[in-house]
Amino acid sequence: MSNDVTPAIAADLPAEVACLILPMAGQTLLAPSETVAEIILFRQPIQLANTPTWLLGEIEWRNQRVPVISYEVLNGGELSAATYSRVAIFNNTGVSDQLTFFAMPTQGAPSLSRINKDMIERSSADAKPFDLLPVTMNEEEFVIPDVMAIEQAYADWLVSN
């Protein structure tokens, strides 16, 4: 398989990366496991007033309130009618001091995969605003999410409210 991953990203990759495969509505995310603090069973978020449609509410996790963000809606899609089964709790990357974690519901149970840069290649799919990189692995399409951009969107919303 030819490796056509962006050179800057490929140069920064270790020999092997543990990743979580996160099934979403209409696509599958590939997230380095170090970006995810925990996978929990889905629980209905507590809705907040006057929020964008991509902010589904908040859940209580480890004695703190964590915002629940719909990746699909944030990326310009529709809110899925499918049933969520799990929630991926993402670690803060340092974009905002006001956000220690955020959560994204998944359509199914995530799985763990160990990948190396020779296993993935850049996909011909168009990247959406919160996609870092569309990739192909084992002839399947995945999207590496732009976790920093997701955090920034939430931080921008907080500042404006």
pLDDT tens readout for residues 90-120? 999 989 888 899 999 999 899 999 998 888 8
**Where do the structural domains in the chain lie, given as residue ranges?**
7-160
Q: Is 7-160 in CATH node 2.40.50.180?
A: yes
Residues of the chain with pLDDT under 50: 1-2
Task: Give the pLDDT of residue 114.
Answer: 94
Q: What was the pLDDT predicted at 80?
A: 75
SS3 content of the chain, % helix, strand, coil (to 5): 15, 40, 40
pTM: 0.88
Counting runs of H as helices and runs of E as strands, what totals does the chain give?
Answer: 3, 11
